Amino acid sequence: MIREAKKKKLDVSCSVAIHNLCFTDDALNTFNTNFKVLPPIRTQSDINELIEGLKDGTIDMVTSDHNPIDIEHKKVEFDHAKYGTIGLESAFGALQNLFSTKKAITFLTNGKQRFGIESSPIKIGEKANLSLFNPIDTYTFNKTHIISTSKNAIFKDVTLKGKAYGIIANNKLILN
């Protein structure tokens, strides 16, 4: 339906959560509640279709789907666990496992327009709003990389390519 709307040149935006591009429902066999997310993870065929949708422009944005859940609602039996995972700290590195740096940045920033966030140009005399990152750093994401007070991370123990270090925004330097 979305692809048909795009073909008719209708202004349609569609997003996908990064974890839905990276994990199959085989991960659910472990009953690890970090994999209990909405929308749920699906098959490799579904992942392939989502990636194709990103490549052909049907899907124009990737989200972190950052949904922190406290330990009391995640460290329970799988059926009783709440849906959610954190994703801000891992989204850039996970997306770069699939796409080039340029594509990863595009997919992560396309939502600015959708949510009415202005883009600020990089010019002399203008306030800087920048993301600070290393696109080639490869590391295994673990608890030490999690800034969120919640630790329910679907990407825990996954090797990621590219690390975000912080931002410069509103005349402030904020580092992870």
Dihedral of alpha carbons 9, 114, 146, 129, sign: positive
User: Which of 5, 33, 37 is CA-nearest to residue 21?
Assistant: 37
Q: Which of 11, 56, 65, 79 is catalytic?
A: 65
First to last CA, the chain: 40
The pair phi, psi for residue 9, each rounded to 5°, is 65, 30
User: Which of 163, 115, 121, 118 is CA-nearest to residue 139?
Assistant: 163
Tell me if residue 65 is catalytic: yes
Give me the amino acid identity at 37.
Answer: V
Contact of 147 with 89, CB cutoff 8 Å = yes
Q: Give the DSSP letter of residue 173.
A: E
Q: Which residues are marked as active site?
A: 65
